[in-house]
A and B are shown apart, each in its own frame.
Chain A
Amino acid sequence: MAGLHQPGDTVLHRLPVGAKVLGLAVLSLAIVVVRDVRTAPAFLAVTLLLAALARVPVRSVWRAARGVLVVALVAGAFQWWWYGAGKAAETFLDLLSLGLAALSLTATTSVNEMVDALSRWARPLRFVGIDPERVALTVALTIGALPGTIAIARETRDAARARGLDRNPRAYLSPFVIRVVARAHESGDALHARGIGD
C-alpha cells in the first residue's frame, strides 16, 4: 500500500489533496448508501474510469483487486446464502469499487502530500492542545512502518520455526510485539536525533 504511489502528471495527480479526499469520502458513502444491484455496476464503471484517468498501472489494479476479490467472494457467498444472488452481486461489486476508489487516491497522492494536507486540517486541534505537526508526522510514520511491521512479523515467525516452535503462539506473538516496541524506541530516538521532536 505504501509503495502504491505512482509519480505522474494526470488530472488526479494535480488535484488538491483535500478535493481528492472529499471526493473519495462522497463516493465511498454513495457506494455504501445506495443499496441497489443496478447502480453497483455503474459505480464500478466510475471507479474503473478514475483508475484509468489516474493511469494506475494494470499490475497494481490487479494486485489490489486480488486481495479484495478473495474477501468479496467469501462475503458474496454468504450474502447469496442469506439474501439471494442480487444482494450478493451488489456486495461483491461494491467492495471492488471501494477498493478501486481508494487505490486511485493512494496512487496519485504521495505520503508527504497527504501529511502536508493532514497537518493543514489538523490546525484547529491546536486549540485543544494537540500539535498538528506531530499528528502529521505520526500519520507518515504509520504508513512508513507498515512494510517494516510485516517484515518483523515474518522474521519472528521464521525464528520460532527454526526453533521448532511454530505451533506455539507464545513463541511467536510476544517476541513479535516486543520487537515492534523495541523498533519503535529506536525510531523514536532516531527522530529525536534528527531534531524532529524539537
Chain B
Amino acid sequence: MAEAQNIPVGSTTAGQIAVAAESTVATRMSAPASFDVADFPVPHGREEEWRFTPLDRLRGLHDGTAVATGDGVKVDIDAPEGVVVETVGRDDARIGRAGTPVDRVAAQAYSAFEKAGVITVPKETVLTEPIRIVVHGEGGTAYAHQVVELGAFAEAVVVIDHSGDAVLAANVDYVLGDGAKLTVVSVQDWDDKAVHVGQHNALVGRDATFKSFVVTFGGDLVRLHPRVAYAGPGGEAELFGLYFTDAGQHQEHRLLVDHNVPHCKSNVVYKGALQGDDAHAVWIGDVLIEAAAEGTDTYEMNRNLVLTDGARVDSVPNLEIETGEIVGAGHASATGRFDDEQLFYLMARGIPEIDARRLVVRGFFAELVQQIGVADIEERLLAKIEEELEASVA
C-alpha cells in the first residue's frame, strides 16, 4: 500500500494497486503510442498525462510551433576504443526499436529530427571507461534522437550530460543484447531557462542488466519519460533518480516499467528535494505486470523532501498486476518536510543552519549518489547539492 506522511499543503501523494482486466496504465493515455505526431491531438492540459505540466512553458514543443533553429544544441561524444559512433539518417533500421513515443512531444521529436546518433558497443566488448555524451544548449530549439546499442554480453557506462540553454525534445533508445550490462547516467544540469522533454526507452535483453540514473537539477521545465520493457526473461532494471527542484522550476519524471515477459526484476527509487516558491516536482511511477509475466519481482519508491514553504510535489505510484504468479510487487511514496522544528533540533545541538540543511539533504541523497559508481559524477552531484543549498540560505 502507498504510504504518505507530512504532505505539504497543495500536494498529492496518491497510490493504487489495480488488479484489472484491462490496463489502465495504457488506457488513461489520451492517444495510443505512435511515431507520428499527427496521431496525437494538441494537448489542452486536462489530459491525464498532461495535467501536472504547465503547457505554456513548453515553448511550443507540444503544439507544433517550436521550429528547430539548426543550432539548438551542440553534441560531443567521447567514446573509448571499440565503440562505434555514427550519425545516421531517419531511415536507419536501428532507430525506434526500444519503444514508441507515448505523448505528443515525444512523437514531435521523433517526427522532426533530421539525423540520429547511434552508438554501438559490439558484442562481448567490456568497456572500462564511460562513454560520454555532452549535450550543450546553444540557446536554440532542437529535436534529436540517440540510440545506444549493446551487443550480447557487452558492458558499458554511458554518461549523458545536459547543460546550457535550449528548447530540446529528444528521445533516447537503449537496446541491450542478451546478457549485456548498461549503466546510464543522464544529468540535466541546464541553465534556468532551458526546456527539455524526452522519452528514454530501454529494451532489456534476456538476462541483461539495465541501470539508469536520471539526475535533474536545472531547467525551467524538464519532463522525462524513462521507460523499460524486456526482450526476454531474466532481465533486470534498476531505475534511480535524483532531482533538486528550485523556486519556479518544474521537474517531471514519468516512469513505466512494463513487465511483459516472465522472470524479470525491476527496482525503482527516485528521490527529490524541493525548495523555494513554486518549485514543482512530479513523479509518476507506473509498473505494469502483464498476464504473461510470471515470476516478476518489482518494487518502486518515491521520496520527496520539501525544504521550504511554497514547493509542491505530486507523487503517483501505480502498480497494475494482471497475474498473481509473481515473486513480489510493491510501491511506496512519501513526502516529508524539513521543517522549523527539525532545524531547531539540529541547531540546538550546535549545528549551524547551513550545515543542518546540508546534513539532512546529503543524508537523504547519499544512498543513491553512492551507487552511481562514476567518481567525477558523484563528486559533481554532491558539489551541485552544496551549491543549491548555499544559494537557498544566502
Q: Do A and B interact with each other, yes or no? A: no
